[in-house]
A and B are shown apart, each in its own frame.
Chain A
């Protein structure tokens, strides 16, 4: 018996996009294509008009039985395609994947749920779709209902459920799959905090049971909590494979400027951002120098330089700050305050710098990630880059530094404490 659960070698998947698949083929198209064939052959010789993209290319890796592997990557890196191939939903264009054991895939929660059927009926249906046998479903039925927490409504049609109930029921069924290999795609992205916590808990149980798990997520803290090793996919290729902490760090910091400044060249920016043109994002220390490390006991500034080729009304330019775990710390826009909001309802064309000051004694030490967003509220998003720049905060001299202990959490405020003897 092989020690590997999954072995993938030179896996590639190509999709054809463009004029060919813009609309579904009709018989008429195919017939008229036949008559055009001679002309097509001549034209193809001068460069085809079909565009091909390789969603995956030369992907090779092995997963040992019982391992819990994370897969991270930007949108479009090929994560879902990889899972689809391993789940036998789609076929690779080249290479092969060897699977040892039964695969249960959770690419979506509630696959096959029908709104007209009751919760009870959907449990049976969904269980069968996920590969459980009738006997298995019957055996686990009570557990599933209890886990979902919708016992009272189990005989009502699912279309009456709130979205939360729906998710809980769907996940309850999926959570009771017992495949040897579990393949999970970002199901934690939906649902409230409680649901996500339950999901994580169940997944970590599954992992402890010794099953092989392949887990795709954008949630770095989930990846760090559940997985031992992680693969980073970049543009369809395996860019990095390492123990999860290292891999997550690589993922979050790769492609970011680490010099305190991130600038965008004209051709790096998609055409749709016009007339907004991002120029540079910078972190400056109190002395005014561009820096990649700043001290937590000093205030510092973050500035965004950009150009407007035409006047824009209602524009707001702002920042996201994230931790290296991917948690959002705050978002703030340059027209959040009433003064700026009133003064800059309309911004004429020209070159601008939006600058904000982060107070001293706010951030804890560690690395932080800045993202930038330029948009008009609910109308249009001109530009967004979620992981644009990273910088480091050094907490030397911060309150409590007399004890050499790390303080958890992204902020480290200097609070005024009052000690009084009252007896």
Chain B
């Protein structure tokens, strides 16, 4: 939508030319950097608002994954009797629920984020990507709280973090990249097609079943492993669990596939978002 150029004179003046844009346009990461403080403020706002006026406050960040863990343990354990590679089912599931929680929150929140911020979008300029971005970053706060609980569980089950624990931030980054990639697609699409709101719950449920949260990857037969790995969350969850607890390591191939697909989603998501950005104020 815009091009920024700086005239080389004293003092330096910011000149912006506003003209119609066509097709695919530059990502304009520079503006995103200029507005970085807004990312912080919007994330802060989302987090505060979420927990104000609730009695349990931040406890909800814990209650959700705990309930999920119990439900999944029951379904995949007691009912399905699927493998957890010999690890205690609660911690096996809970460890996977951390990166999964980040991702599923991204799925549900980013879809709505553009619409719920419609007021700002139609009145003020800022790089619109900040909205789904801050929506996802808000999930990091929940993640941190859950992480503390996980450490508690590790102490309880007497687990020491493996030597590969330094890779944890990398897997977290991969989770964020996947979340952001999918989030950008969903938030942009939702402005145009309101169906996305209705599809989301099914999408999330379906995706959960396709991700080895409640069961181990070993349950998937070898010939399907690579197809299975097309779900970028497979590599994320497996890697996260492996780095923390020492479960089976993800194969290089499946990890490679995860990374490629993740980055593909992210980059394509950013370009699609930017391309649709010009219509947001008019359509939202």
Interface residues of A (CB under 8 A from B): 1-2, 15, 21, 24-28, 30, 84-103, 105, 107-108, 111-112, 114, 116-117, 121, 124-125, 128-131, 133-134, 157
Across-interface contacts of B21 in A (CB, < 8 A): 91
Binary contact track B187-200/A, C-beta < 8 Å → 1, others 0 = 00000111100000
A–B complex contacts, Cβ < 8 Å, 5 sampled: A89-B123, A99-B17, A114-B49, A124-B41, A129-B120
Identify the closest chain A residue to B41 (Cβ): A128
CA distance A105 to B120 in the complex (A): 12
Provided the pairs A97-B17, A99-B15 are in contact, do residues A116 and B49 lie with their beta carbons within 8 angstroms?
Answer: yes
Across-interface contacts of A124 in B (CB, < 8 A): 41
Identify the closest chain B residue to A97 (Cβ): B18
Per CB-CB distance, the 8 closest pairs between chain A and chain B, nearest first, are A88-B125, A96-B19, A128-B41, A97-B18, A91-B278, A90-B281, A24-B194, A107-B123
Q: Contacting B19 at CB < 8 Å: which of A2, A30, A95?
A: A95
Taking a contact as CB atoms under 8 Å apart, the answer to whether A129 and B38 are in contact is yes
Q: Contacting A100 at CB < 8 Å: which of B13, B49, B123?
A: B13
Shortest C-beta distance, B278 to chain A (Å), equals: 4
Q: Contacting A1 at CB < 8 Å: which of B13, B48, B195, B282?
A: B13
Across-interface contacts of A100 in B (CB, < 8 A): 13-15
Q: Contacting A89 at CB < 8 Å: which of B7, B20, B45, B124?
A: B124
Taking a contact as CB atoms under 8 Å apart, the answer to whether A2 and B45 are in contact is no
Q: Contacting A125 at CB < 8 Å: which of B16, B45, B281?
A: B45
Taking a contact as CB atoms under 8 Å apart, the answer to whether B41 and A125 are in contact is yes
Identify the closest chain A residue to B2 (Cβ): A88
CA distance A98 to B2 in the complex (A): 10
Taking a contact as CB atoms under 8 Å apart, the answer to whether B45 and A130 are in contact is no
CA distance A27 to B121 in the complex (A): 23
Taking a contact as CB atoms under 8 Å apart, the answer to whether A102 and B124 are in contact is no
Across-interface contacts of A131 in B (CB, < 8 A): 124, 126
Tell whether B167 is near chain A: CB-to-CB under 8 Å. no
Shortest C-beta distance, A160 to chain B (Å), equals: 12
Extra contacts, 16 of them, besides A24-B194, A89-B125 (Cβ < 8 A), are A24-B192, A25-B193, A85-B18, A88-B16, A93-B20, A98-B17, A105-B124, A111-B119, A112-B124, A114-B49, A116-B52, A117-B49, A125-B41, A129-B126, A130-B124, A133-B37
Across-interface contacts of A102 in B (CB, < 8 A): 14
Q: Contacting B53 at CB < 8 Å: which of A26, A91, A105, A116?
A: A116
Shortest C-beta distance, A101 to chain B (Å), equals: 7
CA distance A90 to B280 in the complex (A): 8
Taking a contact as CB atoms under 8 Å apart, the answer to whether A94 and B20 are in contact is yes
